[in-house]
Amino acid sequence: MGNKIPHTVKLIGLSEHEQKVLNAIFLLSKTRPTSFALFDGDENNKPEMMIVNFDDAGVVHEWQTLCIQNTEYPSIPVIRVTRVRARDTENYYMRRPFIITRMLSLFERLATKEFDSSADGAFEDDDLLDSSTPAKERAQKQASTDESAKTEEKSLASVLVVDDSLPVRIQMNMALKSYVKQVDLAETGEKALELIKENRYDMIFLDVILPGVDGYEICKIIKKDKNFKETPVIMLTGNSSSADQVKGTLAGCDSYLIKPVKSELFKETMTRYIQ
């Protein structure tokens, strides 16, 4: 993955327990395409994100004072921590109590939107995203007759990608269009289960860390469905630890791909599971 420079985060008014949870999230993010770290307080720099306790009026005042004293602070994205469900859609909110997967998902969505983190995506290199793709090459060879083109179209499969990262979904969609007829995308496990009820898939790519129900639980649910028991489920993860792979095996997954995925491994996976 190379030496990634993490997005720095300043915490204002959070409890000791919440700080420990956030430190765990920052540590976990090191295995993800986009990483985060606690702001070191260097006066010559500024944090890239702030997390503010909006349940405490004194803390909110402290944050507002910082923004008045430093002209750069008002432009820094803020996650407002509160116990109350917010109807405001213009700002970022995180409800208490903290749930690690949801917090990490929110961080990554914020980074994608605010810092254009689209370069940190599914693949280690860009050759899978090239416009010259295997499916198009096959189609061009068979385009001499309409009938042969129809045969090629019918032979292509349908794939579901479940990942909370927008850059990953975009890149997986681009790469899979090279191989299959249809690609459906879901950013949560719950949305994936809705799609599974309505569609049949020949293959499912499933991220481990998702907001809400995690990938392991979703995999178990998929494999218990008689219609999808034999459908290959490929887990996507930023962590190569053996413990995670054991969890995936117990959940019933068929294979693992570690993000960012090497193009050779992706091609081998498609060849193995898509006939």
Integer Cα distance of 115 and 48 in angstroms: 9
pLDDT in tens, 171-212: 888 889 888 889 999 989 999 999 999 999 999 999 988 888
**Domains detected in the chain:** 7-118 (3.40.50.2300), 127-273 (3.40.50.2300)
Q: Residue 12: pLDDT above 80?
A: yes
pLDDT bucket at 218, cuts 50 / 70 / 90: very high
- Within 13 Å and on the Cβ side, how many CA atoms surround 97? 3
Q: Residue 125 pLDDT > 80, yes or no?
A: no
| Confidence at 126, pLDDT banded by 50, 70, 90 | low
Between 45 and 153, where is the model more confident?
A: 45
pLDDT (0 to 100) of residue 137: 47
Q: What is the pLDDT of residue 117?
A: 52
pLDDT in tens, 52-104: 999 999 999 999 999 999 888 899 999 999 998 878 778 899 989 888 878 88
Instruction: Decide: 162 and 215 in contact? Cβ < 8 Å.
Output: yes
What does the alpha-carbon distance between residue 198 and residue 249 come to, in Å, rounded to a whole number? Answer: 26
Q: Which helix (H) or strand (E) holds 247?
A: helix 242-251
- pLDDT value at position 154? 36
pLDDT at 248 over 80: no
- pLDDT at position 90 is 82
Beta strand 49-53 pairing with 78-82: parallel
Cβ burial, residue 261 (10 Å; 0-12/13-18/19+): buried
47 alpha-carbon distance from chain centroid: 23
Q: What is the pLDDT of residue 148?
A: 42
Give the tens place of pLDDT for each residue, 129-160.
654 444 444 444 444 444 444 334 434 789 99
- β-strand pairing of 36-38 with 7-12: parallel
Among 141-150, 210-219, 239-248, 261-270, the minimum mean pLDDT is found in 141-150
pLDDT of residue 178: 81
How many Å apart are CA 272 and CA 196, to the nearest integer? 22
Q: Residue 233: its pLDDT value, please?
A: 95
> What token pair was written down for 258?
């570690």
How do the residues of the chain divide into helix, strand and coil, expressed in percent and rounded to 5?
45, 20, 35
Upper half-sphere CA count for residue 22 (Cβ side, 13 Å)? 24
